[in-house]
Amino acid sequence: MLSFLRINRNFRSIRRYLNIVRVLSTYGFDQVLEMLGLADVVARSRRLFSRNIPDIARFSAAERMRLALEELGPTFVKLGQILSTRPDVIPHDFVREFEKLQDDVPSFAFEEVLAQIASELGGPAERFYAEIDPVPLAAASIAQVHRARLKSGEDVVIKVRRPGIVEMVESDISALMALAGLAERHVSGSELYDPVGVVREFARTIRREMDFSREAHTIEKFRDNFIKTPWMYFPRVYWEQTSRAILTMEYVAGVKASDRQKLSENGLDGTLIARRGADAFLEMVLNHGFFHGDLHPGNVMILPDNVICLLDYGIVGRLDEELKTFLTDILSAIVNRDMDEVVSLLLFAGDISDSLDNRALKRDLLHFIDSYYEIPLKEVEVGRMLMEFIEIITLYSIRIPPDLMLLAKSLVLIEGMGRALDPVFDMVAHLRPFIVKALHQKFSPLYISRDINQILSSYLNLARNIPRDLKEIINRINRNKFKIDLEHRGLDKFTAEFDRSINRLSTSMILAAMIIGSSIVLQTDKGPKVMDFPVFAFIGYTVAGLVGLWLVYAIIRSGRM
């Protein structure tokens, strides 16, 4: 049974892979597919599924890719949304276009909701809920949400995973991994962008998002982090009615942070909310190292007494101690206009290319800093400044951690909400105490002693392992087991073209032999005849003619005369 399931999944992945190739070809990305070594697949796909999009030439490449992702479905919409936070991986016009991608999908039937609840919770929905509203509050690519009431009377919302979405996502991931592998083998310079690593990171993100028990634990972790902050509220999770595909949590009635008119009608203070929101986010980032990664206005609710409640915890970012230190150091160096320190930090923390032009990088960074130098600090938008900084360093092929990209985008959203609520909102004023505190901690005796201990421990482990590693290398050399793997990028395409040329040459030689042999038979004038021609000569000429016509057609069709 397991073997059958594996075969079925492989077949589904292959079919999905071919469908991706077809859609990309339809939207005019044949050149990209040829670079991946898929020219033959494209040609076969076009013969089998000929389809043209009218006026496709009027769309830009970024628009065509967005349309292709929308046609390919939920997994690719999610991929585009995640890539929209990665200007270090894709061009900026693609980033702007992918930001338009929305989870615009129809809801699934209420009967499927009940079936999913029964399957996940081990009993009919009536056992766990007094009532469920059959009309969903919202529907997205991965799940949809319904209001409900528990047997004990609490109002809740139920997040139900879309049936079949896991299988579909897994087949899409397999197909994407195959395409990423082709990119690494065939596209020169692709190692700078690590396509397989990007797909692997996307797979990790979307698998976590599909596991609602993880989201429930995330809510609990945020509540624990803000247990002493009375103006932050997090919905209660009902664990008895929660599983990997079902999330039941408290229904929170409030006002969206983006609805300024309702905020005013309810006597809520926009200035106070903006200040609290900024402080809460910076607390998440610089103290907890664990922040909400999808803070658009629809996910921020305001409760009475200006209490902030966050919704939708599917996407979160994490900053370890090293990344938090890097962030505070880089912000401090930018403020002090110390470009040598900025470049040094980038070289230490980022993945860089061998051709990095340090002098040009310093020049561009100085121009960047000078553009902000005359602006009053209260007018500086920290999120946009960080995004511009990232844009500059990505021009030099310096890759930075995805969580830092997510942080920059979240900062832009937070500042946008803050300025909408309070026209004189000053993010720098909120950021300064956190940076000062982080710098004081960095130079405190406790922090320095911890760093020294870590460094000494690392050197001790290195010294301990060197003799063993050297012994292993020497033993491998003595046993002739020492190997060095060399990879020739782009050689597969050359090999395929060489094989095709050899095949054509061999076919031509066989044709020539058939024509010469048939001519000799014709001269002997022996054996059975057809229309006064010897049968074997007639068959030889006929076969040679048909094969010759096929060979000429194939050469003309390939465009390589």
List beta partners, residue 139. 144
DSSP 8-class letter at 351: B
List beta partners, residue 144. 139, 160
Looking up tokens 């492989």 gives 10
DSSP 8-class letter at 162: P
> From CA 379, how far away is CA 524, in angstroms rounded?
99
121 by DSSP, 3-state: which? Answer: helix
Q: Which helix (H) or strand (E) holds 130?
A: strand 129-132
DSSP 8-class letter at 85: T
Which residues lie closer than 8 Å to 445 by C-beta, 6 or more apart? none
> From CA 180, how far away is CA 17, in angstroms rounded?
12
Which residues lie closer than 8 Å to 73 by C-beta, 6 or more apart? 141, 168, 172
The candidate with the shortest Cα–Cα distance to 440, out of 219, 263, 297, 286, is 286
DSSP states along 88-111: TTS-HHHHHHHTT-----PPPPHH
DSSP 8-class letter at 286: I
DSSP 8-class letter at 27: T
CB 209 within 8 A of CB 81: no
Burial class from Cβ neighbours inside 10 Å (0-12, 13-18, 19+) for residue 343 reads buried
> Rounded to 5 degrees, what angle do the CA atoms 57, 43, 187 make?
75
DSSP states along 183-251: HHHHSTTGGGT-HHHHHHHHHHHHHHHH-HHHHHHHHHHHHHHTTT-TTEE-PPB-GGG--SSEEEEE-
> From CA 307, how far away is CA 383, in angstroms rounded?
24
> From CA 524, how far away is CA 410, in angstroms rounded?
87
Cα 141 from chain centroid? 16
Note the residue count of the chain: 561
Question: Is 320 annotated in the active site?
Answer: no
DSSP states along 11-38: HHHHHHHHHHHHHHHHTT-HHHHHHTT-
Q: How far is CA 455 from CA 12, 22, 161, in A?
A: 50, 53, 46
> From CA 162, how far away is CA 464, in angstroms rounded?
52
The catalytic position among 88, 211, 294, 403 is: 294
Catalytic machinery residues? 294
